[in-house]
Structure formats: C-alpha cells, structure tokens
Amino acid sequence: KAGVTQTPRYLIKTRGQQVTLSCSPISGHRSVSWYQQTPGQGLQFLFEYFSETQRNKGNFPGRFSGRQFSNSRSEMNVSTLELGDSALYLCASSLPWTGGNQETQYFGPGTRLLVL
Amino acid sequence: QKEVEQNSGPLSVPEGAIASLNCTYSDRGSQSFFWYRQYSGKSPELIMFIYSNGDKEDGRFTAQLNKASQYVSLLIRDSQPSDSATYLCAVKSGSSGGSNYKLTFGKGTLLTVNP
C-alpha cells in the first residue's frame, strides 16, 4: 500500500505571497492532520480534517487554512507569507482518528517551505 | 497548555548498549503514547505506541508507560549506529465523546550511537 504523499517537496516563496500544499493520505485513510515543524518550536499541530470537515485546529493565525476533498486528499494554504513561516510542513493520515487507543498517524515526506 | 517534555540531548551511547529515552506529559487524560524516529532531513517514522500501563516490546524496542507518574520511555537494546536519529514522543489527547483529538509532540531527543 502506498504511503502518504505530499507535493511539492520543496518550495521557495517570497514574503507576502501565498502557497498551497497538497497531501494524499494512505488509501482508505479518512483523517488528515497537518503539522508545522521548525527547529525552535518543534512539531506543532495545525489542523485535522475528516470527511471534508475541519474537526480540530491548533493555535495558528487565520492565514493558515486547509480543506479536504471527497477522496480524502487535503490541501493547506498559507496566505501573506512571513519569514517565520519557513518550515517543514507535514501531513499525517489515519484510518479513523477518534478515541480509539490503537489509532496511529503516519507521516508523509513533508514539504519544505523557504520564505525569502 | 498541554505539554510533552523530553530531554533534548544529545544522548550518546556506544554501539551495543541500551539507549533510554524519556518523556513526561502534563495531561492526565491522555489516551495513547507514541514514539517516532526522525532522521535528519526526513519525516517522522512511527516506531511503536502504547496505551496501557507497563511494558510493550517490539524487537529491540521496549516502550514503558506509567500513567500515575505521567511518564513514558523508550528503551533501545543493542543500539546500532543506524539508530542515530531524533526520537519524538507524542501524546494523543482529546475530549471524551468528542472528535477533536490531536497529537502533541515533545521537541525530541537526539540519539547518537557511536561505533
């Protein structure tokens, strides 16, 4: 079974631009979570989508948004990019993602974004 | 603020030794606990997870959970140079009966296994 895929893998943007990142979950997985990873803050939760609905959101400004399509693929968008948005953006998929103790998340390779 | 704390390291062990990685968490309602391995420049890779008090073994890896002490650890036996990576502890929490579950990560412990 193919793993989580993310595109593009690398991206260079300038301040003020916007960017859209894409994530395709493992086949059959319906939950997609997004994370931002920086050397200073580590891995931080952005949001989680299930059945095209955002169910949970982390403490990020409204410039960060996302959506999920009927095939479970997800996109995240960052508008008005700032230098501090330079990071590795990771998505993770899960079959369900509810209260089950044995549910796990599997990460994609990430998109490395550099904002100049 | 729900937090997950790990020693940042680096933790250096000789090849063949046991590496012990520790993690504490603040949310007593946390349900399950994960260890991910992340090689430099790569994404996190799930090693194992645990949700019941006690030990769980998988090959050279043993996860230990003590909910009363809010402590989870990962032991790596017979450490190999290929185990050199950053190890991330993650805790799953959310409101009971709800659907807003998420993983909260520690900042990771850098492990170096010296040949």
Triad A45, A48, A51: Cα angle to 5°: 175
Minimal CA separation from A114 to chain B, in Å = 14
Q: Residue B46 and residue A102: Cβ atoms within 8 Å?
A: no
Q: b/e string for A57-77 if b means 16 or more Cβ within 10 A?
A: bbebeeebbbebeeebbbbbe
Distances (CA, A) of B2 to A2, A42, B113: 33, 15, 31
The shortest CB-CB distance from B105 to any of A42, A48, A108 is to A42
Q: Is the dihedral of CA A87, A44, A109, B35 positive or negative?
A: positive
Residue B95 near chain A (CB below 8 Å): no
DSSP state of A4: -
If pLDDT is split at 50, 70 and 90, which confidence band does B7 have?
confident
Q: How many CB atoms lie within 10 A of CB A84?
A: 10
Question: Given phi > 0 = left and psi -120 to 50 = alpha, else beta, which region is A41?
Answer: alpha
The arithmetic mean of pLDDT across residues A58-73, rounded, is 96
Burial of A36 (0-12, 13-18, 19+ CB in 10 A): buried
- Residues A55-77: what's their mean pLDDT? 95
Tens of pLDDT, residues B74-111: 999 999 999 999 999 999 987 655 667 888 999 999 99
State how far the Cα of B3 lies from the Cα of A58, in Å rounded to an integer: 14
Residue B48 and residue A74: Cα distance in Å, rounded?
26
Residues of chain B with C-beta less than 8 angstroms from the C-beta of A101: 31-32, 51-52
Would an 8 Å CB–CB cutoff place B28 in contact with chain A?
no
CB contact under 8 A, B43 and A42: no
CB contact under 8 A, A90 and B92: no
> Do B102 and A108 lie within an 8 Å CB cutoff?
no
Residue range B59-79, pLDDT digits in tens: 999 999 999 999 999 999 999
pLDDT tens-digit series, residues A25-62: 999 999 999 999 999 899 999 999 999 999 889 999 99
